[in-house]
Structure 1
Amino acid sequence: MRVARELIEKARAEGVSLVGPNGLLRQLTKTVLEAALNAELDEHLGYEKGDSAGKFGSNERNGSSAKTVCTDVGEVRINVPRDREGTFTPQIVPKYSRRVEGFDETIISLYAKGLTTGEIQAHLADIYQAEVSRELISKITDKVVDEMTSWQARPLDRVYPVVLIDAIYVKIRDGAVVNRPIYVAVGIDLAGERDVLGVWVGTGGEGAKGWLNHLSDLKNRGVEDILIVACDGLKGLPEAIATLWPHATVQLCVVHLVRASLRYASKKYWASITKQLKQIYTAPTPDAAEAAFAEFCAEWEDRYPAMIRLWRNSWDQFTPFLEFPPELRKLVYTTNAIESLNARFRQATRRRGHFPNEQAALKVLYLVIKNPLKNRSNITGKTVGWKQALNTLAMYYGDRLNVQ
């Protein structure tokens, strides 16, 4: 602290700026790093500099070597102390390392926010006056690949009361640049905690066979039973779920169904249509929903037959949640619980234009998942009102919950 105060007083007296190549922050960083390195060498040798009385053994200090390292305040030139026997291995600034802890995290954080390697390079040069190559930035971000691979293969719980499945589209080069779906599965466990269970790149025409390949990943990682799966009307998904978890209830996302309905209708009728559809999906019982749907058909089938056909074809996957009381309906009638995550996915992928391969796309999405925004709700965390919902689930699904 005394050294820091002296530097601050000197900076004030000499008019030294806080930032910049010779700024106070860099001087402070240099002082702190060199002090830490000398403290490490003290411990390694067993005595402090100048304390010859405490010396033991033949090893001793042997000057220092200059080294430039990248830090959170830019490039800093430091003197690294050496020992005569060459056995000193510093931890603060490891041998051969040109970056101190925190600098890599800065690059990874910028990458997760959607910046390209070129934009990160320009940002570091502008803010930190650090010249970092695109190749180095790629190597730093590739450090997360092994971590991502382990995350993708981690064991999962035996039972998930609720799993939500949704998709976003990103551009990936596969010979040509094409739109590819990336499917996201979010589970709510017995404690009410939400977690991203899996992320898979699809082809856009999965069908039941493709979904079996994706969802078998969850099965192989330990998921033996799912009570309710809420999803969009993804082709082949209900069939795949029935094959892997035959007792699971498939609930079609009501919000997606309403949005799909409006695509068939003129905008001037949207308010009237959504008002009538709300009477269907908020009906107190399945029979009341049937009656409301019959009235809806009578008014709109002649004008918009495709919209009515959409609801008829989706009815079996739409109605399950109508058997539940309000606290459980709210939890499963829509996949919008992962909309905030999808919004962050889109923000991180939009500015890139396209990805060179599937791994590059997954790497960015993984970083988004693992780096929640400060002061913002994140997909992971506790589900609001979970205890009441869990009691209701226990009444409907009994021993399948296996609550201890």
Structure 2
Amino acid sequence: MTQINFTLDFDKIKGEVVRSDLNEVIKSSIVVILNEFMEKERDDYMKNQSYDRTENRHDYRNGYYEREMILNIGTINLKVPRTRSGEFSTSIFEKYQRCDQALLLSMTEMVINGVSTRKVTNIVEQLCGKQVSKSLVSNLTKKLDPIVNEWSSQPLNTNNYRYIYVDAMYIKIREYERVVSKAVYIALGVNDKGKREIIGLRIDHAESKENWIKFFEYLISRGLKSPRLVISDAHQGLKVAIMEKFVGSTWQRCTVHFIKNILDVMPKKNSQDARELVKSIFRAPNSKISRELKEEFITTYEGNSKYHKAIEKLDEGFEDAIQYYVEPQSTHKHIRTTNVLERINSEIRRRERVVRIFPNQQSAFRLIGAVLMDYEETLDTGNKKYIQF
């Protein structure tokens, strides 16, 4: 038998195969090459050729078995050599293990990025000519659990967080054969280096003082110290929880939500000047001018009964909405609203629309946690800073 001598650069082959169109002729060629390589591996292990008879042989050839190799560019069938002792093993599948993992990771990535389980199975079938079940995709995503759990419980005492933003959004979860609405609590912190980190995720029942307290206790148990500012909307239970759990912190009421609350009780017609004046109150360069603009609004419209509710709301919530003026001016545009959290919420919502109803709370935590981990990697990379102190 003529001996075939050759060496293979697997990284090069992989690169060429990935870039090719992989018609049946090319697939067949790859199968021949890999089968011959495995045959040579067995010859090297045996230290002889087929049908050679030597006194010192330590094993015997024992035919072949078939095995599929699923690559991210298709599926091929190989004839894997074996020996009687079973001690011989080929390195082919080790070499290509990264390919298999890349396929599985790609499937998981598709789910995280909002592709439905059904669509993932269709995409994999088109790419690989191989059917995968919905349960396989679901089981793959479950492998995210320890990763997400570790991320969500990482210590918070390694950084000092000057500002934290908190908010809650609602999702639908199937629970005991009923579809219920649950709140997703999220906290984002800005550390002393001016960089953002997502520091908290929890899924619980509807917003309440008790549930916000539980969320803050969970952050504190991981080492979070009271920040300078806590920025949020004006949910009553949230306000009380902030005062109880973050002693010494100042609450900054989101000015976007506050302005909307005021505008909602103002007349719809002939109120453009009044609306612009309200907005200018919170765009002022300092607290002195902001107070002057507030007094101007009250003086101008207090004689008009249609503005009484707006004046009452403005007067009642004004001080809580201008706490950002105490901080350096360079921070004002970042810390007077919860807009940074609204963008994160929209990322979650984009993925959540595909799912619509989560099968259980753990699946919701897993997917939302994976989305947040992925999003966090895009925040303030390199030398970028969200806030310059």
TM-score bin, normalised by smaller chain: 0.7 to 0.9
Change (3 A) 1:180 1:299: farther
Contact 1:163 1:226 in 2 (8 A): yes
- Which residue does the alignment assign to 1:293? 294
TM-score normalised by structure 2 residue count: 0.79
Instruction: Report if the CA contact (8 A) 2:324-2:335 is conserved.
Output: yes
Q: Distance in 1 between matches of 2:249 and 2:39?
A: 62
Q: How far did 1:80 drift?
A: 3.7
Partner of 2:245: 244
Q: Is the 8 A contact 2:46 2:58 kept in 1?
A: no
Contact 2:154-2:222 within 8 A present in 1 as well? yes
> Which residue pairs with 2:370 in the alignment?
367
Q: Secondary structure at the match of 2:126?
A: helix
- The 1-side partners of 2:338 and 2:65 are apart by 58
Question: What displacement does 1:136 show?
Answer: 0.8
The range that moved more, 29-38 or 155-164, is 29-38
Residue 206 of structure 2 is matched in structure 1 by 204
| Contact 1:168 1:183 (8 Å CA) reproduced | yes
Give distance in 2, aligned partners of 1:333 and 1:117. 40
Q: Which position in structure 1 is the counterpart of 2:132?
A: 132
- Consecutive unaligned residues of structure 2, counting only runs of 5 or more, are 1-7
Matches within 5 A, 1:34-113: 45=45, 58=58, 62-87=62-87, 93=93, 100-113=100-113
Whichever of the two has the greater Rg, that structure is 2
Please give the secondary structure, in 1, of the residue aligned with 2:229.
Answer: strand
Q: 1:396 maps to which residue?
A: none
Q: Which amino acid aligns with 2:131?
A: E
Task: Tell me which residue corresponds to 1:177.
Answer: 179
Separation in 1, partners of 2:9, 2:92: 21
What CA distance in whole angstroms lies between the structure 1 residues aligned with 2:38 and 2:275?
A: 67
Is 1:224 matched with 2:225?
A: yes
CA RMSD of aligned residues (A): 4.0
Q: Is the 8 A contact 1:230 1:333 kept in 2?
A: yes
Per the alignment, in what secondary structure is the counterpart of residue 303 of structure 1?
A: helix
1:401 maps to none
CA distance in 1, matches of 2:49, 2:268: 80
Pick aligned residue for 1:334 from 337, 349, 369 = 337
CA contact (8 A) 1:7 1:28 kept: no
Cα distance per residue 1:327-355 (max 9 Å; x no partner):
02123112212333222211101122211
Asked if residue 233 in structure 1 is aligned to residue 241 in structure 2, the reply is: no
Structure 2 equivalent of residue 395 of structure 1: none
SS of the aligned residue for 1:226 comes to coil
Cα deviation for residue 235 of structure 1 reads 2.8
- 1:264 counterpart residue number: 265
- The separation in 1 between residues aligned to 2:70 and 2:39, in whole angstroms, is 19
Name the SS of the counterpart of 1:101 in structure 2: helix
Corresponding residue SS for 2:294: helix
Distance 1:372 1:38 in 2: 47
Contact 2:61-2:83 within 8 A present in 1 as well: yes
Contact 1:341 1:379 in 2 (8 A): no
Find the counterpart in structure 2 of residue 116 from structure 1. 116
Once the two structures are TM-superposed, the CA of residue 128 in structure 1 deviates from its matched residue by 3.4
2:145 paired residue number: 145
Residue 394 of structure 1: aligned partner? none
User: 1 CA distance for matches of 2:285 and 2:387?
Assistant: 22
1:278 aligns with 2:276: no
1:13-24 alignment, distance < 5 Å:
18-19=21-22, 22=24, 24=26
Q: TM-score, normalised by structure 1?
A: 0.76
Once the two structures are overlaid, the 10-residue window that deviates more, 192-201 or 237-246, is 237-246
Identity within the alignment, %: 23
Specify the SS of the correspondent of 1:334.
coil
Distance 1:255 1:330 in 2: 11
- Tell me if the contact between 2:169 and 2:183 (Cα under 8 Å) persists in the aligned partners: yes
**Alpha carbons 1:338, 1:379 under 8 Å: kept:** no
Q: How many residues align?
A: 369
- SS of 2:228's partner is strand
308, 312, 318: which is aligned to 2:315?
A: 312
Distance 1:23-1:211 versus aligned 2 partners, 3 A rule: farther
Q: Is the 8 A contact 1:283 1:322 kept in 2?
A: no
Q: Distance in 1 between matches of 2:375 and 2:269?
A: 40
Shift of the alpha carbon at 1:29?
7.1
Unaligned runs of 5+ in 1: 12-16, 390-404
1:303 aligns with 2:306: yes
Query: How far apart are residue 257 of structure 1 and its match?
Result: 2.0
Measured at CA, do residues 290 and 48 of structure 1 come closer, stay the same or move farther in structure 2, by a change above 3 Å?
A: farther
> Where does 1:346-365 land on structure 2 (aligned, <5 Å)?
346-365=349-368
